[in-house]
Amino acid sequence: MSREQDAWHRLRRSRAVRWISVAVVLLLVFEYVVLPQILGSQNVLGALQRLPAVVLLAAAALEALSLCCYSALTSVVLPGSVKPRFLTLLRIDLSDLAVNHVVPGGGTTSAALRYGLLTKAGVRPQDALSAAMVQVVGANLVLGVLFGAGVLAALGEVRTNRYFITAGITVLVLLAVSAGVLAVLDLHLDAAVRVARRAARLVRIIKPDAAEKFVRTMAAETEMFRRDPRRLVLALLLAVCYWGFDAACLWTFAAAFGHTLGPGELLIAYSLANLVALAPLTPGGVGLVEGVLVPTLAGFGTPSSAAVLAVLSWRILNFWLPIPVGGLAWISLRFGVLRKAAVRQTGANRRSSRG
């Protein structure tokens, strides 16, 4: 690459950084200055300062537990016995989360970063892909279960309408279909591969080889969990705790601002907002989560000001704080564990070349 081309690439990268910085600032201004004024709420940061320190510490602890459960889930779904240490996995997941929260449709970019960090930390490429696939799909299925559980619990708490009931039934049907697909992968893998390749040729969105790889990876993970039921139970428990601690953080802020959410109300509102956030339209679902969660809570009887304050306070810990924390985590990996691993790999390569 010539010097001119290298300079041009550096310039493009710097412009991208500036645009991302501007976008983050605009999102912050809209979410914490414009939105509260539109909805008639007081200043969020001022309201947080008036809360007891124990409430803030409890909310922060719940969010930290949620992130730790996700990294523990990463360790559980990683195949093989040789895995990075928990603190390394936690920093990798935080780096992934930071990128996801600043890049529009950042799921693909953050997944690539996470894959690269895992492989540099010693995870086999195939194991990194397999774990990421199963973890994302499994965690989202558990979120769907929580939404269905919320609908069922709300039948005795609030006046649910046919839309919530229909949504709950739809989620339960999708979960049943997912369970059926996993059973087919376990019992009729070759037939599933043929169907996947034919479907890929028809839709022309993914290549047949990629579709086959996805199916075989899911089958291998299913087999791994089938051989070790305790591992499956632990993975499901960690996925529930990952979502549950995060939802509990939201509940804590709502209670601190004067409204106690029932279990059904909390699960419906929280799960619905996070399911909507799966659409890769904005970084980390910013705007989508708030746009769904605030009116849903208000529809369940939460005062509008309390709903706004609770949601935006929760989003400080859930969305905004992981950005700088994830950046620091990436730096610590880059100049710590990964640097040592690169030095060891270089030394091993030199020794093998001499031999």
Burial of 209 (0-12, 13-18, 19+ CB in 10 A): exposed
In the chain, the number of structural domains is 1
pLDDT digits (tens, 9 = 90+) for 140-197: 888 888 888 887 787 766 555 565 666 666 666 766 776 676 666 666 777 777 777 7
Average pLDDT, the chain: 77
More confident residue, 266 or 212: 266
Q: For residue 176, is it within any domain?
A: no
Asked if residue 236 is part of any domain, the answer here is: yes
Between CA 115 and CA 107 the distance in angstroms is: 12
Q: What is the pLDDT of residues 243-298, one digit of tens each?
A: 999 999 999 999 999 999 988 889 999 998 888 887 777 777 777 888 889 888 98
Q: Is residue 174 part of a domain?
A: no
Give the residue numbers spanning the domain of 338.
41-152+228-342
The answer to whether residues 190 and 183 touch, using CB atoms and an 8 Å cutoff, is no
197 found inside a domain = no
Is 218 a member of any domain? no
Rounded distance between C-alpha atoms, residue 298 and residue 124, angstroms: 47
Residue 165 resides in a domain: no
Cβ contacts of 13-17, under 8 Å, gap ≥ 24: none
User: Residue 292: inside a domain, yes or no?
Assistant: yes
Is 192 within a domain?
Answer: no
